[in-house]
Structure 1
Amino acid sequence: MQLPARALDETVLIEVVRLSGLPVGRDGPYLGAVVALWSGSEATAALSLMASLPGSEQHRCGFAPGWSVRAYDEHLAPVLFEAAFCFTCHEVRMRGTAVPPAMAAQYFAPSAPPALTLLSLFRRANG
């Protein structure tokens, strides 16, 4: 998976969100509860893990993401990027100030070890 270079350089905080709904409006955030905050080495490791997700083909499911991450720089607003992960259709949708249009929709292999590790981190964060 490709991550915006600016986000890799500037992220200091990641919110892990257990999603409950799609955005209201075109630019709204994905709806859900923040279940964890990752900073320092946790944020760096999470970004590395996301960047290592291998690509995949699209699988149609209607895009029903269960998890999202929101990355912030030292100012904590606006969001550098939000990435919503659908482990069923293999799609991740990104938006934010650091996200170029070409990176807005990507596909990842959900059964690959990095994806399984990421999903495990999400689930552990949710308690």
Structure 2
Amino acid sequence: MQLPADVVTGTALIEVVRISALPTEEGAPYPGTPVAHWSGDEMAEALALIGTLPGSEQHRCGFAPGWGVRAYGDSLEPVLLEAAFCFGCHEVRMHGPAVPPALAKQFFDADAPQAAALLARFRGAGA
């Protein structure tokens, strides 16, 4: 999966969100409960893991993301990137000022070891 370079180099904090619904407007935050904040090595490892998710073909499930991340820079405003992950249809949708349109919708192999590791991190954060 490809992350915008500005996000990889400019993120100071990641907020992990347990998504509860789809946004009502395009570009609006995904509703849900923040369950963790990752910084330092934990943040860098998460970004590296997301960046190594192998690509996949689209699967049809209707896009029902369960987990998301919000990446913040040093000032903590605005959100650089919000990414919502659907492990059913293997799709991630991203938006934010650092996300070019070409990267806004991508597909990842949800059965890959990297995806399993990311999902385990999400679940561990929400425990």
Shorter chain as normaliser: what TM range?
over 0.9
Within-5 A mapping of 1:104-115: 104-115=104-115
Which residue number corresponds to residue 27 of structure 1?
27
SS in 2 for 1:33: strand
Which residue number corresponds to residue 80 of structure 2?
80
Corresponding position: 1:126 with 2:126: yes
Which residue number corresponds to residue 93 of structure 1?
93
How many Å apart are 1:27 and its aligned residue?
Answer: 2.0
Unmatched runs of 5 consecutive residues or more in structure 1: none
Distance 1:97 1:8 in 2: 14
Distance 1:80 1:60 in 2: 28
Corresponding position: 1:66 with 2:66: yes
Q: Equivalent pairs: percent with the same residue? A: 62
**Any runs of at least 4 consecutive aligned residues in structure 1 with deviations exceeding 2 A, and if so which?**
none
Counterpart of 1:116, as a letter, is: A
Distance 1:8 1:67 in 2: 19
SS in 1 for 2:79: coil
Counterpart of 2:92, as a letter, is: V
SS in 1 for 2:94: strand
SS in 1 for 2:8: helix
Normalising to structure 2: TM-score of the pair?
A: 0.99
User: Is 22-31 or 2-11 further displaced after alignment?
Assistant: 22-31
**CA RMSD across the alignment:** 0.5
SS in 2 for 1:45: helix
SS in 2 for 1:9: helix
SS in 2 for 1:116: helix
Counterpart of 2:23, as a letter, is: P
SS in 2 for 1:43: helix
Distance 1:26 1:45 in 2: 29
Normalising to structure 1: TM-score of the pair?
A: 0.99
Corresponding position: 1:51 with 2:51: yes
Name the count of aligned residue pairs: 127
CA offsets 1:48-87 (integer angstroms, 9 cap, x no match): 0000000000001110000000000001011110010000
